[in-house]
Amino acid sequence: MSEPIPAPDPFEMPGMPQFPDPIDPDAPGRGPLIMGVTWTMTILCILIISARFYVRATVARKVSSDDWFMLAAVVMQITFQGCITEASRWGLGKRDANLSVFPQLIQVLKWNWISTTPSIMVSILARVSANILLTRLFGTKPWLRWFLWIFTGLQVVVSSVLIVLVWVQVDPVEGLWNPFMAVNRRWDPRIQQNTSYLAQSLFTFSDVTYVLFPVMVIWKLHMPLRRKIGLGLLMGLSLITAGASIMKTITTPRADTGNTQDAQYNASLAVLWSGIEQSLVIIMGSIPPLRAKFKALMVERFGWFGTTVVGFVSADRTRNSTHHTHKQQRGSKRFSGGSQQSLRRGLHTGDCMWDSSGSGGHRHAPQLSSSSGSSGGETPPMDLSTAEMGQIRRTDEVTITFTDHPRTKS
């Protein structure tokens, strides 16, 4: 019985050009830097999504759709990290002259191409999660709600088209990473690359506008200036993501330059910035939902110590609220007939999310009530405990007191 004829090795086929041996195969290049930074950021993503689900389950008692989208983004980030780790095993980040064309350079290119799909999925899933959260917080503004959903939908469409273009531009698909393979179809690479630039531009624009517009809404709220600045800075952290997105676009080599010298080495910077940007989208998108929940968790888990920490953090808010109340009480008016009215109105927010900790550490939702001494009746309180967590709430407390003076007999 004859032995089966083995399939020819594509790297040793007749007519394949001969390539020089690597100059310095032991030089690590940027590989350790890329692995160190991206793995650190990915681990941070895993920790912060774990904290997010923990506080949702223990404090909010509810996991929302934005949490699940962000969890899916973390899963895609781990997949992306696995792909570039495999590429690093073959020499990602080394200078091209220090790699053997077969199989090192081909394998690096292969895993880089495979990583593009989870990379795009991370960017879009995390931004969809941020959109859901922002709509819940600022959905009372119709113009902002419509912008968030329309612009996020545009990002989803362009990103989906980009994923398709990546895998259909060459037939067979192995021709993407092996330029020496005979192919049936190869589209102009500028089609896919220009679509990639468009998608990345939309991501960058969203990182800016998803901060700018909510800050515009926050700035019009009736709250102390320090509180506005604090919330603005909290939202403004996402501008760091916009900077990483710009760096990713700048470091992506263009297909129409014709410069192939150290192409893989130069493209490795784009891989680094891609990992940073994707992780920052996840981290920055998860910080706002954790802030108020962290306060409540501190009070619940650590008792008087947690209450002390929360009280210290909220000290500025308490001082401003007390000053605001005293100022209104000094400006109280007197009605004719000897009646006195004391009016107190306050705007309370949970740092753009429901703050269930309160100033004293209890977790009861606030109530809105009013009473009148003249009628003797009392309006039943409106319980907000059933309101969905994660929204801005305004509470107006009105207290009217009448003081009757004894009449003098004539």
Give the pLDDT score at 237. 75
Give the pLDDT score at 345. 33
Assess contact for 253 and 267: CB atoms under 8 A. Answer: yes
Give the pLDDT score at 359. 37
The end-to-end CA distance of the chain, in Å, is 135
Extract the tokens encoding 270.
Answer: 């784009």
- The domains of the chain are located at 20-289
Give the pLDDT score at 330. 47
Per residue in 104-116, pLDDT (tens digit) is: 999 999 999 999 9
pTM here is: 0.70
In words, the CATH class of domain 20-289 is mainly alpha
Helix (H, G, I), strand (E, B) or coil at 326: helix
Per residue in 50-80, pLDDT (tens digit) is: 999 988 888 778 888 999 999 999 999 999 9
CA distance 213 to 130: 13
Give the pLDDT score at 257. 55
Helix (H, G, I), strand (E, B) or coil at 297: helix
CA distance 285 to 278: 11
| Percentage with pLDDT > 90 across the chain | 40
CA distance 284 to 36: 20
Q: Which residues of the chain are under the pLDDT cut of 50?
A: 1, 7, 13-15, 309, 312-391
Give the pLDDT score at 76. 97
CA distance 295 to 244: 30
Give the pLDDT score at 35. 97
Q: Residue 19 class from Cβ within 10 Å (0-12 exposed, 13-18 middle, 19+ buried)?
A: exposed
Give the pLDDT score at 375. 41
